[in-house]
Chains A and B, each alone.
Chain A
Amino acid sequence: MEYFLQNFINALQWGSFYALIALGYSMVYSILMLFNFAHGDIFMSGAYIGFCIASLFIFLFGGVGAPGWLVMILTIIVSMFLTSFIGVLIEKIGYRPLRNAPRASAAITGLMIGIILETSNIAIFGTKRIAFPPLVETVTYNIAGIFITNKKIIIVAISLFLMAGLHFFIEKTKWGMAMRAMSYDFFIVPLMGVSLNVIAPLTFAIGSALAAAAGILYGLAYPVLDPYMGILLGWKAFVAAILGGRGSILGAALAGFLLGFIEIFTAMIFPSTLRDLIAYSIILIILTIRPHGFFGKAHSSSLRL
């Protein structure tokens, strides 16, 4: 039982990253009907921006003795803000000229932007691995044989808070309503005075900000940054976005956690060498039974990619 609960907590943390990144894929898809394959690298850029901001804050406030959690929250907010500009820039330079091009061209653009982000990162920071500063002192709680660190609690709490915030934004605000309308009809809504050139950058900004938050939380949990860290995680989060149903926000979040659970629990039950083989076979079976994912709408345009 302890063994199970320990893995449950491990999975909750690991799933948070998939969920936060999958949200970005799903949001962009719901508006523009394309998967932004540079998203994993936006996550990576967010982590590096977070590293710079955190180092700056530690340098500025280190002497004053500001508490770690305050520095962490400030780092997350500032990095989310800065990374959202990367998202907007990518939309403007990479995707807007291709908005009416075949979707495959747009997808390839995403891959190229990803490579540009990785290599420019290498140009700035070099290939050396970077240690993410430990913003919060790690405290390990032993509750009846289950080990929980304060970082795990922070990561899951912040992820859930951000997801709830996104849900509120989309369901309760005017901008959110515009986004929902846009995802409902890509051609008619702009005729009603809601400009796609506002909504699309906004979507990219929000998705990138979430990826940046994921990047910093990732840096807290796994404090070794490398320029290619976003590729594998990005692909797996993409799987989560598909699993949740293309364009479904709630689905992406839930599927992100589900993916985390499947990975952790297959490694718990089977030999870890077979982990990804078994985990992704399970997902393949789920998709065979439900080709549109859990919450996906079966409309014809979803086949455009």
Chain B
Amino acid sequence: MKKLSLILTAIFFTLFALSSSGWCWGKKKIIKIGINAPITGDIPKVGENTKNTAKMWLEDIEKAGGIEIAGKKYPVELVIEDNEAQAESAVKVNTKMITEDEVITVIGPQSSKQAIPAGGVADSYATPMISPWSTNPDTTKDRPYVFRGCFLDPFQGPMLANFVKEEFGFTKAAVLYDVASDYPKGLAEYFKQAWEKNNGEGSVVSYESFTTKDADFSSQLTKIINSGAEVLFVPQYYNEVALIVKQARELGWKKPILGSDSWGSSETITLCGSDCYGAFFSTHYASAGAEGITKEFIDRYKKKYSYVPDDVCALTWDSLKLAQKAIEALVEFSGDIKKDRENVKKNLAEIANFEGVTGNMSFTPDGDPVKCAIIVKISDAGEFRFYKSVCP
């Protein structure tokens, strides 16, 4: 019993010492930024890209001697935590970073599955959060403290419908999507609405679906081919894209195929091969044929980590830069974390015409950026080549 109480006392004192040292650090006025990333779990590549990008950003800041607020430079510390690509862990990580580490703002989580619940935490603690990659409207909806770095599905669907109309003048479209998954289903609906608004009722001549894990789409595709559609829209993830496109080609479909930002993974080409060449899809940025600051970013990243950065890297970079800009715009760095967070949030919402590597953006009152999407054409070498930029 004596031993136990001794241990407890020891633990208590250690904790006290730790917390007081944290308090001292706060006095030293360090700007802390939280990174909530899926470092382990289903999508480790996304986590690795997030981490690498954040480190590259920190390098810049350190070189400049910190972030400058009202003429005074403050050092920056990154708090990088792993959310295991799980919703519950993302919530835990956010709570820890906000309440214990006292970060001024959180960058991440990346996918909507984690960003939607984690956004709730950030909003209730009145801490600004920027999710770079989550396209689901719910992430930022009715949450003044939550922002994102990318466009939304209700923009992406109509944008694609308009692109086809302007580019090709087609009037008949077909859609094939997974009815059991939220992202494809939502996007298919947004696309259909916009297409029928442009070309009249019934102009989506074939609106076919399947359920997750299906592998044979021959009857749906035969129906689509028979319907006389001029373009096929497939808002699916890369593994299904490969199956659908291959089967469509085998059944004699030679017309254009259109995809969404879920095609952006390099796996698309690994699995689909030459059958996907010539297809179009919308995304956040194109690495092949980039210019200006985007090219600078790509070259630098490639030199540092020796692989081409994908859309996650680019969006994370922009989100960090947005956060930096909002912090720099503070009138003073008071050290009162609640007050500073409130001001950072206010500054973020006021950002207009921010020039990022994924294009220019301004925030709406909901915390969603108004920004351009990029249409990519898959070249005959399997590269994602910039084709056109479409702005709202």
Q: Closest Cβ of chain A: how far from B317's Cβ, in Å?
A: 25
CA distance A27 to B371 in the complex (A): 60
Contact of A142 among B213, B252, B273 (CB under 8 A): B252
Q: Name which of A110-118, A226-234, A297-305 contacts chain B.
A: A226-234
If A147-B252, A149-B250, A224-B242 touch, whether A129 touches B267 (CB-CB below 8 Å) is: yes
Contact B219 A147 (CB under 8 A): no
Main secondary structure of the interface of A (DSSP, over half): helix
Q: Could you tell me which residues of chain A, from 1 to 52, have a CB within 8 Å of some CB in chain B?
A: 3, 6-7, 10-11, 13-14
Give a binary string over A220-244; 1 marks a CB under 8 Å from any B CB, 0 the rest: 0111101011011100000000000
Contact B218 A10 (CB under 8 A): yes
Q: Please, which residue of chain B has its CB at the minimum distance from the CB of A267? A: B219
Contact A273 B179 (CB under 8 A): yes
Specify which chain A residues have a CB less than 8 angstroms from the CB of B209 in the assembled complex. 271-273
Contact of A129 among B211, B218, B239 (CB under 8 A): B239
Specify which chain B residues have a CB less than 8 angstroms from the CB of A14 in the assembled complex. 216, 218
Residue B143 at the chain A interface, CB threshold 8 Å: no
Contact B179 A224 (CB under 8 A): no
Specify which chain B residues have a CB less than 8 angstroms from the CB of A264 in the assembled complex. 218-219
Q: Closest Cβ of chain A: how far from B162's Cβ, in Å?
A: 26
Residue A138 at the chain B interface, CB threshold 8 Å: yes
CA distance A10 to B238 in the complex (A): 23
Q: Closest Cβ of chain B: how far from A216's Cβ, in Å?
A: 14
Contact B226 A3 (CB under 8 A): yes
Give a binary string over B209-242; 1 marks a CB under 8 Å from any A CB, 0 the rest: 1110111101110110010000000000011001
Give a binary string over B171-210; 1 marks a CB under 8 Å from any A CB, 0 the rest: 0000000010000000000000000000000000000111
Specify which chain A residues have a CB less than 8 angstroms from the CB of B214 in the assembled complex. 232
Q: Please, which residue of chain A has its CB at the minimum distance from the CB of B237? A: A129
Specify which chain B residues have a CB less than 8 angstroms from the CB of A224 in the assembled complex. 215, 239, 242-243, 271
Residue B270 at the chain A interface, CB threshold 8 Å: yes
Specify which chain A residues have a CB less than 8 angstroms from the CB of B249 in the assembled complex. 140
CA distance A271 to B177 in the complex (A): 13
CA distance A142 to B251 in the complex (A): 9
User: 10 tightest A-B contacts by CB?
Assistant: A10-B218, A267-B219, A147-B252, A222-B215, A264-B219, A272-B208, A129-B239, A273-B209, A131-B271, A232-B213
Contact of A268 among B210, B222, B242, B267 (CB under 8 A): B222
CA distance A30 to B330 in the complex (A): 78
Contact A10 B219 (CB under 8 A): yes
Specify which chain A residues have a CB less than 8 angstroms from the CB of B208 in the assembled complex. 271-272
Residue B113 at the chain A interface, CB threshold 8 Å: no
Q: Closest Cβ of chain A: how far from B35's Cβ, in Å?
A: 23
Residue A276 at the chain B interface, CB threshold 8 Å: yes
Specify which chain B residues have a CB less than 8 angstroms from the CB of A226 in the assembled complex. 239
Q: Please, which residue of chain B has its CB at the minimum distance from the CB of A127? A: B42
Q: Please, which residue of chain A has its CB at the minimum distance from the CB of B251? A: A147
If A6-B251, A140-B252, A272-B223 touch, whether A222 touches B243 (CB-CB below 8 Å) is: yes
If A14-B216, A147-B252 touch, whether A268 touches B223 (CB-CB below 8 Å) is: yes
Residue B246 at the chain A interface, CB threshold 8 Å: yes
Specify which chain B residues have a CB less than 8 angstroms from the CB of A265 in the assembled complex. 219
Residues of chain B at the chain A interface (Cβ within 8 Å): 42, 179, 208-211, 213-216, 218-220, 222-223, 226, 238-239, 242-243, 246-247, 249-252, 267, 270-271, 273
Contact B218 A272 (CB under 8 A): no
Q: Closest Cβ of chain A: how far from B254's Cβ, in Å?
A: 11
Sample of 10 more A-B contacts, CB < 8 Å, known A11-B219, A232-B214 = A7-B219, A10-B216, A129-B239, A134-B273, A222-B243, A224-B242, A264-B218, A265-B219, A268-B222, A271-B208
CA distance A127 to B267 in the complex (A): 13
Specify which chain A residues have a CB less than 8 angstroms from the CB of B226 in the assembled complex. 3
Contact B210 A272 (CB under 8 A): yes
Contact B219 A223 (CB under 8 A): no
Specify which chain A residues have a CB less than 8 angstroms from the CB of B252 in the assembled complex. 140, 142, 147
Specify which chain A residues have a CB less than 8 angstroms from the CB of B210 in the assembled complex. 272, 275
Give a binary string over A195-230; 1 marks a CB under 8 Å from any B CB, 0 the rest: 000000000000000000000001001111010110
CA distance A14 to B223 in the complex (A): 16
Contact B242 A13 (CB under 8 A): no
Contact of B250 among A138, A267, A273, A276 (CB under 8 A): A138
Specify which chain A residues have a CB less than 8 angstroms from the CB of B238 in the assembled complex. 129
Specify which chain B residues have a CB less than 8 angstroms from the CB of A267 in the assembled complex. 219-220, 223
If A3-B222, A14-B216 touch, whether A276 touches B211 (CB-CB below 8 Å) is: yes
Q: Closest Cβ of chain A: how far from B13's Cβ, in Å?
A: 44
CA distance A46 to B389 in the complex (A): 46
CA distance A7 to B219 in the complex (A): 6
Contact A13 B211 (CB under 8 A): no
CA distance A226 to B220 in the complex (A): 22
CA distance A11 to B247 in the complex (A): 14
Specify which chain A residues have a CB less than 8 angstroms from the CB of B220 in the assembled complex. 267, 272
Specify which chain B residues have a CB less than 8 angstroms from the CB of A273 in the assembled complex. 179, 209
CA distance A222 to B243 in the complex (A): 6
Specify which chain B residues have a CB less than 8 angstroms from the CB of A151 in the assembled complex. 250
Contact B250 A140 (CB under 8 A): yes
Specify which chain B residues have a CB less than 8 angstroms from the CB of A275 in the assembled complex. 210, 219
Contact of B222 among A6, A138, A229, A271 (CB under 8 A): A6
Specify which chain B residues have a CB less than 8 angstroms from the CB of A228 in the assembled complex. 213
Specify which chain B residues have a CB less than 8 angstroms from the CB of A218 in the assembled complex. 215
Contact A131 B270 (CB under 8 A): yes
CA distance A226 to B243 in the complex (A): 12
What are 22 A-to-B residue pairs whose CB atoms are below 8 Å?
Answer: A3-B226, A6-B222, A7-B218, A10-B216, A14-B216, A129-B267, A131-B242, A131-B270, A131-B271, A131-B273, A134-B273, A140-B252, A147-B252, A222-B215, A223-B271, A224-B243, A224-B271, A267-B219, A267-B220, A272-B219, A273-B179, A275-B219
